[in-house]
Each structure stands twice: as structure tokens, then as C-alpha cells.
Amino acid sequence: MLDVVCSAAGKAADELTRRDVARALLTVPAREALEQFAGIRRELTAAGNPLSATFWNSTEATLSSIEAGSATVGDVRLWLEATGTEPTQLFPAEGFLWSDEDERGPVAAELHARLVSHLEALVAAGVIDSDLLVRSDDAALAAYRQAQLDWLRAPLPDGRVPFDAIAEEEDDEFLAKWDEAEADARSILGELLSDAGPRPCPQDELAAACDRLRDQLGSDEWPYQLLRTAAGVDPATLPRDDRELWLTLAAGVVTPNDEPPDDPLNDSSMYWYMLGHEAWIAAAVSLARNGPSTVVDADSLAHDAATFDFENTEDDEFDDAPWLDDLDEPEARSDQTQQLSLGFFTVALLWRTLGALDVDDRLTELGWWGIPESLLRAWQPHTDPS
């Protein structure tokens, strides 16, 4: 099997590291790896690269544990990191976490390989003692983590700082996936709203609501402070157009621009952030279908979200809805419904502030028109400032 290890690592036998051998052994069933174990050790010794008895003992123990079914993922990870050239997960204290190998982008993959090479050089220079890592020596483990952290924070010759470059790539990937999800959600919402019929914008009601909002948004009164922060608006430079102002504020309820301050009245804000595209679509379409004067509260919105049928849409992303049906245990369904209700508690409060609901928590003409429109606004494609 040594030739397989050499081929996978792209190295000659006398250049192989402990990490190279360990990773190769993990690619085959543990029983097979144990059968190959002694032969690989003999061949490496003959090639002038015996590694160390400490490494071989830990390898045999780990493979035996895997074969017995008693090894955890964490156990295997620690054994691999103790080779001295496997980058560790520097989290949570240092705030850095490597993605799984098959999920790394080009930048992360490149920099991970560069860090491996850097660690190999430190092992060769004697700066990193892998045998001490195997023995879980506290000082050696701390130095090993610090060496990686120093490399991640130091500029490369091309000026990139690995820590920042990887974070930027991951942020870009996340935003791209989120934009794709929002585009799908917007398409489904548009399809469902087209079947619900026209919803004219009530101009007088819109103007009255915006006059009130312009007067109140500059104050620290709750929940205007929450509404302002979520929308990311400056009271001194509010849009002059009523439609633009109202939809900007309402879109902030769907996708908050900034993290709002703590709500002194309730602790449901975290559940508000957790509301997914399916829940928002279900709520908005149900309101569009039911029309003005519909009673709207957190529980009714949660019920609509939990029971909405997406199966007749052209896009199959939400075909499994109502998604709560996928939860086998009644307790789990109850917990999910409660979380939806807690999330919509804050939403209903903000919709009332916007004038989408009246003082009796009934859907207004403004809310009938504006709530679905606010989702379309929140999920519109982002423009590239460059």
C-alpha cells in the first residue's frame, strides 16, 4: 500500500509525513488499514523514513478503536492533528474554523495546503515535536495552535492575510447561496401572489401612515427604534416618496439590515431572525388570499406557516411543505410551531406600527397590499456597487 500513499501525497517514500500516512490509512476500512499497517511501517523504515514508535503506537490504537466502533470523530481528529502537520480547528477561542475538505473554496483549499507546508517545515526544523502532541503535552499543544494562528494572521508575500482571505471567500459564498435562495423564494412568492388576484395600493392610507412614521422614527420610543434599526434608515434622510419609505421599512422587518437593540417587552427577537423563506411566503400569501379585516396575530401566522401547501408551485424547492409534517414527534412539531409563533410576535408588533394591522389586529388595506410587496422588495436582486 506504500505506493498508494506515495501517489496520494505526491511524494517519495522518504518524504512522507505522519499526516500523509494517517490520511491514507483513513481512506480504507479500519480492518484493511490494520492489515496493511505493519507492511507500511517496514517499507518506510527500509526507505530511511521510520517516523517514530510513538506515532505507530498511536496509529495502531486509533485504527483498532475505529474497528471496534468505539472511536469518536473527535478522537480521530485529535489523532490526525497530533501528526504535527494537520491544521487544527482554532475555535471558539481564536474564532477560526476550517470547512470540511470537500466544502472549501479555491482560496481556502490553497491556503490550507500552504499551512500544511509551513507546518511540515516547522516539524523538519524541530520547532514542532509530534511525539509531544501525541502525548497531549499542554505546552506543545499550545505552541502548535499558536504557530498556526501566527501564520493565519501574518501577511503572505502577495499581501493577503490568510485569516481575512478565507473569511472573505466564505462570506462571498454564503451571500451567493443566500441570493440564490432569495431568488427562488421571490419566484415562488410571485407565482402564488399572481393567483391571489390584484391588491391595489391605498394611497390615502399609505400617506397617513407615512406622515405618522416620519414624525415618530426619530424618537427612541419603542417600537419605532426597532423598526428604524431593522430597516437601516436615518430619520434625517428618509425617502420622500411614501411608497419607497413604507416598503423600505417593511422590507427591514423581513430582512433586518442591522441587529436591532434588545426588546424590553419580550425576548422573541431571536425567533424573528430564524423565520425562513417558507414561513414568510406562507404568511404573506395567506394574508393576500384572506384579504382586509382578517384577524392577524402571532398564533394565526404560525398556523398558516405550519400548514401552508407549496405542492402546486412550479419550483420544487418547498415541495415538502408543510415542513412540520416531516417531524415525527408531536412534541417536536409543537416546539416548531411555538418558535414560529414567537418569531411572528415581533413581526406582528412591527406590522401594527407600520399600519399594516389596525388597533384590533385586523389586516388593513395597506397591509393587504404592502406585506406581500415588502417580501418582494426584501428579496429583490442585489446590485453590485462596483
What pLDDT score does 174 carry? 83
Helices 162-196 and 277-290 meet at what angle, rounded to 10? 20
Among 34, 64, 79, give the residue marking a domain's end.
79
Give me the mean pLDDT over the 181-205 stretch. 92
Quick check: is 75 in a domain? Answer: yes
Give me the mean pLDDT over the 262-291 stretch. 82
Pair 74, 187 in one domain: no
Q: How far apart are CA 56 and CA 289, in angstroms?
A: 68
Pair 250, 371 in one domain: yes
- Give the phi and the psi of residue 276 in degrees, each rounded to 5: -90, 175
Pair 74, 197 in one domain: no
Pair 190, 325 in one domain: yes
What pLDDT score does 384 carry? 47
Among 26, 47, 79, give the residue marking a domain's end.
79
What 3-state class would DSSP assign to 254? Answer: helix
Q: Cell 459564498 sits at which residue?
A: 173
Pair 206, 332 in one domain: yes
Pair 195, 73 in one domain: no
Quick check: is 132 in a domain? Answer: no
User: Does the pLDDT at position 231 exceed 80?
Assistant: yes
Quick check: is 23 in a domain? Answer: yes
- Asked whether the whole model's pTM tops 0.75, one would answer no
Pair 218, 345 in one domain: yes
Quick check: is 155 in a domain? Answer: no
pLDDT tens digits, one per residue of 67-88: 999 999 999 999 999 999 999 9
Among 47, 79, 111, give the residue marking a domain's end.
79
Domain that holds residue 64: 1-79
Quick check: is 27 in a domain? Answer: yes
Pair 224, 339 in one domain: yes
Pair 191, 59 in one domain: no
Quick check: is 175 in a domain? Answer: no
Quick check: is 106 in a domain? Answer: no
Pair 68, 214 in one domain: no
Q: Enter the DSSP assignment of 96.
A: -
Q: How many domains does the chain have?
A: 2
CB 43 within 8 A of CB 5: no
pLDDT tens digits, one per residue of 13-46: 999 999 999 999 999 999 999 999 889 999 999 9
Q: How far is the first Cα of the chain from the last one, in angstroms, to the nearest whole number? A: 52
